[in-house]
Amino acid sequence: MNQFPRIQTVGLSGILISFSDTMSEPANRAALSFRAAIDAADWPEVSETSTSLVSTFLQVDLVTQPLDAMLTRLNDLLETQDWYTAPLPAGRTLWHIPTVYGTDLAPQLEEAAELAGLDPDAAIAQLSQARVRVLTIGFAPGQPYMGELPENWDIPRQQALTKSVPAGALIVAIRQLIIFTNASPTGWRHIGQTAFKTFRPLSDRPFSLSPGDELCFPSVSRSTLEKIMATDDSGAGGAETEVLS
Amino acid sequence: MTTTLTIVQAGPALTIQDLGRAGWLAQGLTKGGAADPVAIHEGAALLGQSPDLAAIEMTGTGGTFTADADIRIALTGASMAAKIDGDPIAWNAGHLLPAGAKLTIGGATSGTYGYLHIGGGIASDPVLGARATHLSAGLGAALKSGDSFPVGPDKGRETGMKLPRDTRFDGGVVRVVASMQTDRFAPEERERFIATQFARDPRANRMGVRMDHDGAGFHAEGGLTILSEVIVPGDIQITGDGAPFVLMGESQTTGGYPRIGTVIPRDLPRVAQAPAGTKITFEFVTLEQAITLETQHRRDVKALPGQLTALVRDPATIRNLMEYQLVGGAVSAKENPFEKDA
């Protein structure tokens, strides 16, 4: 079936290039790489670009920009390489974000570990050594959907919503992690707590993360996290970064 | 000295709005901005100033306002009963608000979102390049009694002009183009969708407007397995209970509910402004038809200054007679009438 990549218009607001209809690492890679190529091409018709899990969106004013010409150029660019195996864009950041797993700060670790077929210590070991990618950002400003975790973390969302988990919560479902931007109800399970702020509207860098960034969540003690909270008001939550080439 | 506008008494849902904050979709932040952008352009035309200046958006009801110097104001969007120191003033028109006078704006009599524009605009501090309050993202907050804001420098002088009202406050036919998931709805479902008379549900805000109808809900094939995908303003998502939800400027950037179509930009204010219970039907148009309709609309918005007419005033009932320019169209001898502010 040669259904993808698929190009569609989105209202009068733009063009969507989908690389799959299910989440997979190659399709997410394709979306990120293709977006980087569009940004590099710097076409004047494209006012803004974004990615969802497996697609790239180009904001284009279809009222004034001829669609056929855009489609031709998009198809030409799509044919220049296999986007599913393309290298990820350069200049991404690798983040190490100190995390308290479990305790009353993150009360669903044990429940989630059981669903993942692990005892709590083994779950913490696996999660704190995992390296995940920002697959997309959405739902709230700067809020990352990260993955993919090992297959044993393909755990369902809860039937009932948790009334509220705090900002900085690390939550898990369907092989993905999220750090919550704001306190919010959720069907995902709250397994860790960070002091990391994903959205800092008044700072020089209002959005901490970009799609394609990679993250690790090393396990720290509660007292370490409390010390970070007491001494660092930048919102970085004690995170360390390195640039990925 | 900077002029200050003070909100003496705030209605329940006042926010500062402009045309929104573009450029942050990839970071999870939608553009937001005025629920009725046409009203922003009307205010700009009435005051002869840029549509990029910020105004106060009033949902359902207004409040009481005063300024510490003479300011020009314009009132657009949903009609609300407005008075200056107790004397009624016209809606969809520009006025002088004298220093210390009290402007009171009551409940909407048609439409949902009213706008108070100030000559020179509300000069609050921009965040991420715009002044628009984005409630769902936590940028800014609803205005409270006692809040005050600086007013930008006003380069214009004209007051007492009005614009004709259009029909966007009355519901009616809303045009829709097919979008990326339209073909997930069976042809019969799409037929039923355009044949259904909807009423704007009371559940509506700057994120989205729910549509109520009698009969079964609408359903996509494989509706629950759709991956979360980009949202654009006007997308009509079908939620779990089968009710259509028209997504507005302050929605989330992505969503997992299937979209049956997208309201064209010019008809989105019609959805936003329809009061609860107002009848709405949807009609599919082709992309080509939508482009023609939208091109015409943009031309009309640009031509708004040409629609201005002087308010007709009755000297017997007029207050502050001396403040009015009584000879229609008269201009200052020192002013070049062809050099209007953009």
pLDDT digits (tens, 9 = 90+) for A83-124: 999 999 989 999 999 999 999 999 999 999 999 999 999 999
Specify the pLDDT at position A118.
98
- Whether the CB of B26 is below 8 Å from some CB of chain A: the reply is yes
Percent of chain A having pLDDT more than 90?
90
Note whether B294 contacts A14, CB cutoff 8 Å: no
Asked whether A207 and B24 are in contact (CB, 8 A), the reply is: yes
Mutate to test the interface with A, among B175, B177, B230 (most CBs of A within 10 A): B230
Residues of A in contact with B228 (CB under 8 A): 52-53, 136, 138
The least confident of A54-63, A172-181, B4-13, B217-226 is: B217-226
Nearest to B11 by CA among B69, B73, B74, B78: B78
* Of A8 and A159, the one with more pLDDT: A8
Specify the pLDDT at position B313.
67
Specify the pLDDT at position B314.
57
DSSP A153: G
Asked whether B120 and B153 are in contact (CB, 8 A), the reply is: yes
Name the minimum distance, in Å, from the CA of B275 to any CA of chain A.
Answer: 25
Note whether B230 contacts A50, CB cutoff 8 Å: yes
pLDDT at A1 over 70: no
Exposure string (b/e) for B220-243, b if CB count within 10 Å is 16 or more? beebeebbbbbbbbbbbbbbeeeb
Specify the pLDDT at position B342.
36
Percent of chain A having pLDDT more than 70?
99
- A202 — pLDDT class (breaks 50, 70, 90): confident
pLDDT at A167 over 70: yes
* Of B241 and A61, the one with more pLDDT: A61
Specify the pLDDT at position B318.
53
Query: What's the whole-model pTM score?
Result: 0.91
Name the minimum distance, in Å, from the CA of B179 to any CA of chain A.
Answer: 5
Contacts with A234 (C-beta within 8 Å, 6 or more apart), sequence order = A200, A203
- Whether the CB of B133 is below 8 Å from some CB of chain A: the reply is no
ipTM of the complex: 0.91
Note whether A47 contacts B22, CB cutoff 8 Å: yes
Q: Which residues of chain B have pLDDT under 50?
A: 317, 321-342
Specify the pLDDT at position A159.
82
Specify the pLDDT at position A160.
84
| pLDDT tens digits along A127-142 | 999 999 999 999 899 9
Residues of A with CB under 8 A from a CB of B: 8-14, 16, 18, 21-23, 35, 47-55, 57, 59, 62-64, 67, 136-143, 181-182, 199, 201-202, 206-207, 210-211
